[in-house]
Chain A
Amino acid sequence: MTTLAADRKRAVRTELEAMLGRGAVLSDPDELLTYESDGLTLFRALADFVVFPQNVEQVSQVVKLANREGLPFVARGAGTGLSGGCLPAEGGLVISLMRMNKVLEVDYDNQLAVVEPGLVNLHLSWKVGPQGYYYAPDPSSQQACTIGGNIANNSGGPHTLKYGVTTNHVLGLEVVMPDGEIVWLGGKTRESQGYDLVGVFVGSEGTFGIATKIVVRILKKPQAVKTVLAVFDEVDQASAAVSEIIARGLVPAAVEMIDQLTIGAVEDAFGCGYPRDAAAALLVEMDGLQIGMDEQAQRIEAACRESGARDVRTAKDEAERQLLWKGRKSAFGAYGRVSPAYMVMDGVIPRTKLPFVLKRVNEIVGTHGLRVGNVFHAGDGNLHPNILYDPRKPGEEARVVAAGAEIMKVCADVGGSISGEHGIGLEKADFMPFIFSPADLAFMAQLKHAFNPDGRCNPGKVFPTRKSCGEAGAVAYKPHAIEEQGLAQRF
């Protein structure tokens, strides 16, 4: 399906090529296929064009052309999103920022860097690492995802418990507005005049404009890091330990929980040293000053033991620490060992509700005749139930989607949220009424209108559009083209 007549499409392509150069415009349906979905392959849509601008002026020109032609457009980074947030509308333009991937400036004295949106998250830490600095937000996809995509989704990661999410690390943005105007929001200083437009823009899922330069904070690497693994025979004990750690006045850098099914998958795949017979394991990391680190580790260990941990050990060196983290960060990939496919959920609950909600998640998934693996940011209550299924079995995917909706409802009912870091995108737009009233949504729509009055910038996202929840279950899974070729897997 396309919104442009063939002759008009040819004319637009010619114009885009004149603007961006040949090789910076795709319109062949085979080439467009790569861009028809993000990491959530449940939803897919074909654009008319995918373009690769190299600077802010080109982005602005493309956006102005889209406006003139009445075409919708969406910015795209690495496409690792998990909510369908960077999917094109049917037709229109995908503006890939992958050619704008430079670190433009690093100011160590003022602890900031200016980067382009297509820069891969981890590459920034590589760049500033030799000087003793790093970029704190560390989503699990950080080896591939871009800082621009992190801006759109306000991405988190394991270490957000202590250091906050993307928005806490962004000082300024150069933005191409939905009408093509180039505007600076914020800057290099900690405060700027007027409303916190940077704070409003971060997490707006590409619906307020396209960030073309990003000023981020870089942090000094901590003097010392210590990682503790605590092993439990019951999930409830692990949940209790999370609360106990917090109750003892400790703020670890990360507290991650991994359940038995996930431990099995990880051990099959990588052999990271997690005990297979444990019901759950907690990975607790502290960082900061060398002095006092042992005392804090002892407090963590005591909190875990008193909550019933059968074994608590501290990684004895960096190699062991890296191995433990490899198990955590590779867990999604490892599910491939135990299931042909899985759907990752993203919900947040108050930490104190962990035992109740984990029990409910298992019951719900069981009721639908499915299995679930849990690997998540326990310290800030950010759940990632991964529902395992076989897309070749008729009706199984619909059951996954139905179970997912029920899990979201449980998160909402205990005072939580339907997304901690993956965003609403297309996937959860219909769940928004679980946590927001019509008045809340109307207010957000007014705010959107102030940035994006014609609605051409990433249409159809964030706000509920379809008739009811669960209908997306009718969408049948089909593997992505590059999955079929064995070049990529869902994660």
Chain B
Amino acid sequence: MQAAFLEKLRGIVGAPHLLTGVELSPYVVEGRTPEAAVFPGTVEEVRSVVALAAESEVPVIPWGGGTAAALGTPPPRVGLVLGLSRLDKILEHEPGDLTVTVQAGRTVAALQSALGRQWLSLDPPDPARATIGGVIAANASGPRRQLYGTARDLLIGVTVVTADGTLVRGGGKVVKNVAGYDLPKLFVGSCGTLGVIVEVTVKLRPRPDDERLVALPFDRLKDAGAAVRAVMGSDLIPNAIELLDAEALRALGLLGAPAALVVGFDGLAEQVSWQIRELGRLVGGDGAPEPRAVSADVWGRLAASAAQAFAAPAAVMRLCVLPTQVADVMAQATSVARARGLACAWHAHAGVGVMTGALASGDARPDTGAVGDVLREWRALARGGAGSAAIESAPLAVKDAAGVWDDAGAAGRIMQRIKRELDPKNILNPGRFVAGI
């Protein structure tokens, strides 16, 4: 990166907000150190930085809390990390409208704590680090998606800086809006490849009077799967239906069982109590003991429980299948790993069919070939369940061996066309996304 370019960046954001050299270690992507990191303090500064990078054809990597930095194909060039952490203000919160407009760099935890008796019904892992812009860009979610959906269901307005530094707004500030194309949807899960999210408006909900989490142990995954089906077909309205295997349960310090369902309920206290009793009856029959209560601090650790089952997982993969397939896929995937001499741990948002599997070997250096083979077989299992699978994190060699993203099919060509239209110079997080984007 040329000195003149750095000088111009410094001119835009001020010297304290431009990092170079050894200061860049927290921003390493896939083992590669970026050429610089810049932290604009205003939306105007973001525009100037992106326009300058576009003019100089330097790739820009938008960066929130860095919690999803391991996601994606290794980039060909790690140019300029564009940190949004200084854009962290709440711009407008009108409780009567149940909406909040916030700058993208505010952490989810800092946002939630400013909302009083309301909350954003999105519970991604690591909320103290994850920024709201990053969560939307990576489409991160948590257990409560069972009832409240994901970023696509909550984001109603988005402001982005496009690949040439233009400011573009999509959606709006009202909860119902069909004027123009649904740009908020375009940016959910786009991993920074179409624009730098600088401001978002999201829908809020009132905090429920009560919320509780309970666990039900099972001797076999199959029975746990049948219980998921029974719960989904019942009158119960759980806000989370999580299926964990023995390893994930161990990571959470929960019960010692081959499998367990962890189910959440919210609402009025009497509604929560009634549903917990009903859950016990539904799964265990009349006279069954009430499901045991789980401490509230487990909520935030559920989604990462599989990955945290091992000190150094050899790979973490996310599979999306039909809800009825979850328990079967989990059982088969475990057999596949064991057949290769590898251990694995599983967690699933079972009611929506989103599963995370972590692989590990007893050896200090896992066999890349075996890990890659298992991941490929896991992906085949996901496809058999009408779904797809992508690597969440893995060493470079494993990513190379198994491929990070699943095949997007013919839709991938439309995605490529969108990318070419909106980022013709290919400077926004290039080479890391689906279909080679």
Binding site for B on A (CB under 8 A): 107-111, 153-154, 156, 160, 164-165, 167-168, 177, 181-185, 187-197, 199-200, 202-204, 220, 223, 243, 246-251, 288-289, 291-292, 295-296, 348-352, 377, 380-382, 415-424, 428, 432, 435-437, 439-441, 443-444, 446-451, 462
Which residues of chain A have C-beta atoms less than 8 A from B166's C-beta? 439, 443
* Pick from A181, A190, A204, A348: contact of B177, CB under 8 Å: A348
Which residues of chain A have C-beta atoms less than 8 A from B162's C-beta? 443
B233 touches A108 (CB 8 A): yes
Decide if B14 is an interface residue (CB 8 Å cutoff). Answer: no
Given contacts A193-B405, A194-B435, contact A447 B386 (CB under 8 A): no
Query: Distance in Å from the Cβ of A132 to the closest Cβ of chain B?
Result: 8
Bitwise, B263-301 to A at CB < 8 A (1) or not (0) is 000011011001100000000000000000000000000
Query: Distance in Å from the Cβ of A145 to the closest Cβ of chain B?
Result: 14
Which residues of chain B have C-beta atoms less than 8 A from A108's C-beta? 233
In the complex, how many residue pairs between chain A and chain B have their CB atoms under 8 Å apart?
Answer: 257
* Pick from A200, A421, A451: contact of B182, CB under 8 Å: A200
Decide if B188 is an interface residue (CB 8 Å cutoff). Answer: yes
Given contacts A110-B322, A352-B94, A440-B169, contact A200 B390 (CB under 8 A): no
How many residues belonging to B are interface residues under a CB distance threshold of 8 Å? 85
What are 20 pairs between A and B in contact, CB < 8 Å? A109-B229, A156-B178, A168-B152, A184-B411, A189-B387, A192-B320, A192-B388, A193-B405, A193-B408, A193-B434, A194-B412, A291-B274, A292-B268, A348-B176, A424-B179, A432-B179, A443-B183, A447-B186, A447-B418, A449-B421
Indicate the member of A183, A185, A190, A447 with the most B CB atoms within 10 Å. Answer: A190
Decide if B354 is an interface residue (CB 8 Å cutoff). Answer: yes
Q: For residue A196, which residue of chain B has the nearest CB?
A: B185
Bitwise, B108-133 to A at CB < 8 A (1) or not (0) is 00000000010000000000000000
B411 touches A185 (CB 8 A): yes
Q: For residue B153, which residue of chain A has the nearest CB?
A: A168
Query: Distance in Å from the Cβ of B174 to the closest Cβ of chain A?
Result: 4
Q: For residue A441, which residue of chain B has the nearest CB?
A: B180
A288 touches B178 (CB 8 A): no
Q: For residue B232, which residue of chain A has the nearest CB?
A: A111
Q: Which of B95-103, B252-260, B330-338, B368-376 contacts A (4 or more CB under 8 A)?
A: B95-103
Q: For residue B422, which residue of chain A has the nearest CB?
A: A446
Which residues of chain A have C-beta atoms less than 8 A from B437's C-beta? 194
Tell me if A's interface is mostly helix, strand, loop or mixed.
loop
B237 touches A289 (CB 8 A): yes
A350 touches B173 (CB 8 A): yes
The 9 closest A-B CB pairs, nearest first, are A199-B185, A249-B206, A194-B434, A352-B96, A417-B177, A450-B417, A189-B387, A292-B271, A191-B320
* Pick from B174, B271, B415: contact of A194, CB under 8 Å: B415
Task: Give Cα A165–Cα B177 distance, bound, in whole angstroms.
Answer: 10
Query: Which residues of B, 207-238, contact A by the 8 Å Cβ criterion?
Result: 207-209, 229, 232-235, 237
A447 touches B172 (CB 8 A): no
B322 touches A153 (CB 8 A): no
Given contacts A183-B410, A415-B174, contact A351 B96 (CB under 8 A): yes
Indicate the member of B96, B97, B176, B232 with the most A CB atoms within 10 Å. Answer: B176
Given contacts A223-B235, A440-B180, contact A110 B323 (CB under 8 A): yes
* Pick from B98, B235, B322: contact of A188, CB under 8 Å: B322
A189 touches B97 (CB 8 A): no
Q: For residue A240, which residue of chain B has the nearest CB?
A: B96
Query: Distance in Å from the Cβ of A169 to the closest Cβ of chain B?
Result: 10
* Pick from B324, B406, B410: contact of A193, CB under 8 Å: B406
A417 touches B172 (CB 8 A): yes
Task: Give Cα A204–Cα B418 distance, bound, in whole angstroms.
Answer: 15
Query: Distance in Å from the Cβ of B192 to the closest Cβ of chain A?
Result: 12
Task: Give Cα A446–Cα B320 distance, bound, in whole angstroms.
Answer: 31
Decide if B409 is an interface residue (CB 8 Å cutoff). Answer: yes
Which residues of chain A have C-beta atoms less than 8 A from B52's C-beta? none
Task: Give Cα A187–Cα B385 distance, bound, in whole angstroms.
Answer: 11
Decide if B149 is an interface residue (CB 8 Å cutoff). Answer: yes
Q: For residue B160, which residue of chain A has the nearest CB?
A: A443
B181 touches A195 (CB 8 A): no
Decide if B168 is an interface residue (CB 8 Å cutoff). Answer: yes
Decide if B74 is an interface residue (CB 8 Å cutoff). Answer: no
